[in-house]
């Protein structure tokens, strides 16, 4: 358990409250190992990530994280060398734990239709998809160089993927599809990129082992359009690192509310790191105003993907939907809903109560 900085401790406290209540109801026990990462680690140890944190994380089944970082304009952490800033801790822990698949979930809840910037008829078709982005390969990690050729500078970034890199994330995508609506869309640029053609070949071969999963292929430029034109067509979207980087930010906007988006970063096996998609919101830290739902929903993902507690995960997700009918944190409140505004702690209590009261 990494509380982190800013609103991190407040939102993690609520996720733990909901997890404990859920564990009690479904007959298992959660054991938490507190670990430091980011700004709070800099304050204590002078570095954003210690070997001790890595070692402790490796002894656990999963890591649940709040968020890290401070206000880059005012926080002393941002006067440090970039390698010693809070975000370096996040990159470091991802690498140390071998997290190669990032999952960002985009769900539009009926009661939050107002938050969606798309036309109502499009939103009403329903939005519930996950983007699986490869995290450790591709253009961002390929060989890079700038050289002088024929009297001018030439910059090169290599985009390369091996079959095994593609296969290990594709397994996660097929397995996710099996837990969901059994539809998988591979997003690539196979009309021009050799690496994309390898993605298609590997995924096409693997599809034979998952006969129940309906697989389709889409070029990334079309996918960028389809995400806003008809997002209801997507269930699991699998894509390489850079395309995933861009599309997952577009996807956050499609459902509107940043306080509602969970994410998971998975390693081989069942290990994963779970965190909300938003940052540490230093502007509202310590004010009991933060929306803890993205963190609570990240905890539900952890129950599903790392702890094998599918029923408990569904119970938490249902509880969140139930609570939204009656209560909202300030970021979700709109003029024309009849819900009551509650703070971070009360929202956590409401979700825990809703889990407890489920039949």
Residues near ligand NAD (CB under 6 A): 7, 67-70, 72, 87, 90, 258-259, 275, 278-284, 290-291, 294, 331
Among candidate residues 3, 172, 188, 189, the one labeled active-site is: 189
Strand partners, 187: 218, 239
Is 245 one of the annotated active-site residues of the chain?
yes
Whether 114 is catalytic: no
Question: What is the closest distance, in whole angstroms, from the C-beta atom of residue 102 to ligand NAD in the complex?
Answer: 11
Output Rg (C-alpha) for the chain, integer angstroms.
Answer: 21
Query: Catalytic residue at 140?
Result: yes
Q: Least Å distance between CB 69 and ligand NAD?
A: 2
Q: Quick one: 14 or 196, whose CB is closer to ligand NAD?
A: 14
> Residue 164 Cβ, how far from ligand NAD at the closest point, in Å?
27
Q: Which residues pair with 339 in a beta bridge?
A: none
Q: Which of 52, 110, 249, 283 is catalytic?
A: 249
Residues 6+ apart with CB under 8 A from 56: 33, 35
In the complex, least distance from residue 280 CB atom to ligand NAD, rounded to whole angstroms: 4
Using DSSP, state whether 324 is helix, strand or coil. Answer: helix
Catalytic residue among 111, 128, 140, 331: 140
Q: Which is nearer to ligand NAD, 137 or 282 (CB)?
A: 282
Distances (CA, A) of 67 to 5, 208, 275: 6, 39, 7
Nearer of residues 185 and 295 to ligand NAD, judged by Cβ? 295
Cβ-Cβ contacts under 8 Å for 281 (sequence gap 6 or more):
6, 7, 67, 290
Q: How far apart are CA 150 and CA 64, in angstroms?
A: 52
Site of tokens 């703070």: 343
Give the distance, in angstroms, between the CA of residue 293 and the centroid of all CA atoms in the same chain: 13
The neighbouring-strand residues paired with 184 are 215, 236
- The span from the first CA to the last CA of the chain, in angstroms, equals 29
220/247 Cα distance (integer angstroms): 9
Are 108 and 321 a contacting pair, CB within 8 Å?
no
Q: Which is nearer to ligand NAD, 8 or 137 (CB)?
A: 8
Instruction: Please confirm, yes or no, whether 128 is among the known catalytic residues.
Output: no
Give the nearer residue to ligand NAD in terms of CB position, either 123 or 284: 284
Q: For ligand NAD, which is the closer residue by CB, 87 or 111?
A: 87
By beta-carbon proximity to ligand NAD, the closer residue of 179 and 341 is 341
Task: Supply the minimum distance, in Å, between the C-beta of residue 166 and ligand NAD.
Answer: 25
CB of 276 to ligand NAD, least distance (A): 6
Per-residue 3-state assignment (H helix, E strand, C coil) for 235-273: CEEEECHHHHHHHHHHHHHHHCCHHHCEEEEECCCCCEE
Q: Which residues, 6+ apart, have CB-to-CB distance to 309 below 8 Å?
A: 26, 28, 303
Least separation in angstroms between CB 178 and ligand NAD: 28
Neighbouring C-alpha atoms within 13 Å toward the C-beta of 225: 4
Q: Which residue has the tokens 């406290």?
A: 13
Residue pair 273/94 in contact by the 8 Å Cβ criterion: yes
Looking at the annotation, which residues are catalytic? 140, 189, 221, 245, 249
């Amino acid at each position: 358990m990494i509380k982190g900085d800013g609103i991190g401790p407040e939102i993690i406290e609520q996720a733990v409250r909901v997890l404990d209540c859920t564990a009690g109801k479904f007959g298992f026990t959660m054991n938490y190992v507190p670990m430091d990462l980011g700004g709070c680690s800099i304050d204590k140890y002078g570095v954003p990530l210690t070997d001790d944190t890595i070692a402790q994380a490796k002894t656990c089944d999963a890591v649940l994280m709040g968020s890290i970082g401070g206000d880059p304009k005012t926080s002393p952490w941002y006067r440090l060398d970039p390698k010693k800033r809070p975000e370096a801790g996040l990159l470091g822990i991802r690498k140390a734990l071998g997290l190669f698949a990032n999952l960002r979930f985009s769900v539009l809840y009926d009661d939050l239709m107002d938050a969606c910037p798309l036309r109502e008829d499009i939103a009403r078709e329903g939005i519930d998809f996950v983007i699986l982005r490869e995290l450790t390969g591709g253009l961002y990690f390929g060989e890079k160089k700038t050289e002088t050729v024929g009297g001018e500078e030439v910059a090169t970034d290599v985009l390369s993927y091996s079959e095994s890199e593609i296969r290990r994330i594709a397994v996660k995508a097929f397995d996710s599809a099996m837990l969901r609506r059994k539809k998988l869309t591979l997003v690539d640029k196979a009309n021009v990129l050799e690496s994309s053609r390898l993605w298609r070949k590997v995924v096409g071969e693997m599809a034979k082992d998952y006969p129940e999963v309906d697989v389709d292929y889409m070029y990334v430029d079309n996918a960028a359009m389809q995400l806003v034109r008809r997002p209801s067509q997507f269930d699991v979207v699998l894509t390489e690192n850079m395309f995933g980087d861009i599309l997952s930010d577009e996807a956050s906007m499609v459902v509107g509310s940043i306080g509602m988006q969970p994410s998971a970063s998975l390693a081989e096996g069942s290990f994963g790191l779970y965190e909300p998609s938003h940052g540490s919101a230093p502007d509202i830290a310590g004010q009991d105003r933060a929306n803890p739902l993205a963190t609570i929903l990240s905890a539900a993902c952890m129950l599903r993907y790392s702890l094998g507690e599918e029923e408990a995960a569904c119970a938490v997700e249902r509880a969140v939907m139930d609570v939204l009918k009656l209560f909202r944190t300030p970021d979700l409140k709109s003029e024309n809903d009849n819900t009551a505004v509650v703070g971070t702690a009360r929202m956590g209590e409401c979700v825990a109560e809703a889990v407890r009261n489920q039949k």
